[in-house]
Amino acid sequence: MHDISHYLSTDHAHCDTLFAAAENAVARDDWRTATTQFQAFDIATRLHFTREESILFPAFEARTGMSHGPTVVMRGEHAEIREILQGMAEALLGKDADSYLGLAETLLMLLRQHNLKEEQILYPLADQALADSSGELVRDMKSLAG
């Protein structure tokens, strides 16, 4: 069973859809839609990180003993992404399309690499290491719904 991979990969896809909708709205100078879509993306992305950092990563680290492994890298990338999100929010407030779209391009590259590492490396490791508790972990992550 690949409950963890499936759940979190589906969550990535949801965030990607919101990201694209916000970016497209900025490109059209539709600031109202851009703000709504960006806020939804920002909330969904931060919730995804919380699910990983408060539930998945601690369970994975406890089970595998890897406290200086892939989860450390992912936490570092989450911090980078949060900084870019803050810059995008500021660009949105200032209706600065060039700044927003530049940051969005940077974020897109970072997210693609980040999500690939999670989906190809971390999540399969978690599915294997946490197979006996994956259903419970996914329920716990779902319970954090925003």
pTM of the model: 0.94
Condensed to tens digits (0 to 9), the pLDDT of residues 27-65 reads: 999 999 999 999 999 999 999 999 999 999 999 999 999
Q: What is the 3-state secondary structure (H, E, C) of 43-72?
A: HHHHHHHHHHHHHHHHHHHHHHCCCCCHHH
Condensed to tens digits (0 to 9), the pLDDT of residues 91-130 reads: 999 999 999 999 999 999 999 999 999 999 999 999 999 9
* Token output for 4: 């963890």
| Structural domain harbouring 138 | 3-142
Which CATH number is 16's domain given?
A: 1.20.120.520
Q: How many domains does the chain have?
A: 1
